[in-house]
Amino acid sequence: MLARIDLRGSALPGVRDLAGLLPRAATDIDSVLATVRPLCEDVRVRGAQAVREITARLDGVDAEDFAVPPQAIRAALDGLDPTVRAALEESIARVRRVHADQARTDVTTQVVRGGTVTERWVPVRRVGLYVPGGLAPLLSSVVMNVVPAQIAGVTSIAVASPPQRDHGGLPDPGVLAACALLGIDEVYAVGGAQAIAVFGYGAGSCEPVDLVTGPGNVYVTAAKRLLRGLIGIDSEAGPTEVAILADDTADPVHVAADLISQAEHDPLAGAVLVTTSEALADAVLDLVPGQVAATKHSDRILTALDGSQSGIVLVDDLDAGLAVVDAYAAEHLEIQTRDAREVAMRVRNAGAVFVGAWSPVSLGDYIAGSNHVLPTGGCARHSSGLSVQTFLRGIHVVEYDEQALAEVAGHVDALAHAEDLPAHAAAVRLRQKP
């Protein structure tokens, strides 16, 4: 469990070589494309009937219509445990507060007299938001996807989540209740790759969307890859992961609990401790078995912690530790060190950073106000998590008057001929007075 990688006593390799040494789940999206492609094509060609047959085959639910009736959405909210409702309402309020500050405003730049460029921020017209319902029904993902879309100004929002046999073929009631709280009344009981195909091509009463966001399994990810271009996507999310950078001031009870909490998501979840303290590593290894035994999903957690995607990395000092976590580029990164905020501000690559003993990843999953839809698999080196920006497009509006164009006609002419595109130059020259 949590195999050790000892990087002490020698110079660290380069970033790419270092990343290759670190634990990480392998997700072979290409291996499932052969399964996903005909499934998506079937939905494209046969629409709702294909969705019905695929859902019956894969989910064991045979429903004539996969659109969730509005009354079922309202009933889910009416039946929601009051403590869960209060927690969802607080989560919504905090996520709205954080994401409201991400709203963009149009900016006009006067380049020269008579010449301006305005950057307009325009929301996507229609989005499809996917909410997983396999090992865990992620009702919190409803909040994380819907709120930034609403703040961005998206006016047409559809949610899809897998049907549950235990709930009459409807999505999880908590997912439906979260939709009701957010005013979402277009919900579909369809999961997996077929849900992405429904969003991409349209089927039944679901009209095609322009953008799909939300986490999912390898089949969902493969479908997003397949349909990318027809639709926009947020990312190709892989198994979830946490890295913890810790020194000898960290509480091993906290560290063990946080590694376990992320491993609870999925047998492929990654849990990595990077530490300068061998004593901390030993203490965490001693604590993990007891904590795992005391929790519900112990088999799933043990599989994740025993896997090649999880481990403990020993480093000489915090500088080396920062190099390691930057090379790893974790979806979630906890900093449990002296001067934790100062250390956190030196991090370059992470989906989200959780600072100090009292900011565990679980807080961010639900109610910190941050977004929990984050880049995985090292994609935090180049990508950001879900935000209001995900649902906006910047459009440059160029407006030059006659004099402003005349002043740069010579430059256009020079550059157009340098590129051997004389018609570009002519389009400007013919506008000039003789």
DSSP notation for 145-168: HHHHHHHHT--EEEEEE--BGGGT
Q: What is the pLDDT of residue 382?
A: 94
Provide the 10 A C-beta neighbour count for residue 8: 12
Q: Which of 99, 254, 297, 332 is catalytic?
A: 332
CB 189 within 8 A of CB 170: yes
Does 349 appear as a known binding residue? no
Q: Is the pLDDT of residue 133 over 90?
A: no
Q: What is the pLDDT of residue 434?
A: 77
CA distances for 158 relative to 1, 35, 349, angstroms: 41, 25, 32
Average pLDDT over residues 50-71: 95
Per-residue pLDDT reduced to its tens digit, 339-385 = 999 999 999 999 999 999 999 999 999 999 999 999 999 999 999 99
What CA–CA distance (Å, rounded) separates 319 from 428? 56
Short-list 139, 128, 99, 84, CA closest to 227: 128
Residue identified by tokens 């480093």 is 315
Q: Which of 241, 264, 331, 334 is catalytic?
A: 331
Residues in Cβ contact with 290 at an 8 Å cutoff, skipping those fewer than 6 apart:
none
Does 110 appear as a known binding residue? no
Q: Is 278 a catalytic residue?
A: no
DSSP annotation of 213 reads E
Q: Is 332 a catalytic residue?
A: yes
Q: What is the pLDDT of residue 52?
A: 97
Determine phi and psi for 421, rounding to 5 degrees. Answer: -125, 70
Q: Which domains does the chain have, with CATH numbers?
A: 3-27+238-369 (3.40.50.1980), 29-236 (3.40.50.1980), 401-430 (no CATH)
- pTM exceeds cut of 0.75: yes
Per-residue pLDDT reduced to its tens digit, 250-305 = 999 999 999 999 999 989 999 999 999 999 999 999 999 999 999 999 999 999 99
Residue identified by tokens 């979630």 is 332
Share of the chain above pLDDT 90, in %: 89
Residues in Cβ contact with 245 at an 8 Å cutoff, skipping those fewer than 6 apart:
274, 275, 318, 321, 322, 324, 325, 333, 334, 335, 336, 337, 343
Does 130 appear as a known binding residue? yes
What CA–CA distance (Å, rounded) separates 142 from 371? 11
Q: Mapping DSSP to helix (H, G, I), strand (E, B) and coil, where does residue 403 land? A: helix
Does 411 appear as a known binding residue? no
Q: What is the pLDDT of residue 354?
A: 98
The amino acid occupying position 98 is V
For 389, what's the count of Cα atoms within 13 Å in the CB-facing half-sphere?
Answer: 8
Q: Mapping DSSP to helix (H, G, I), strand (E, B) and coil, where does residue 140 land? A: helix
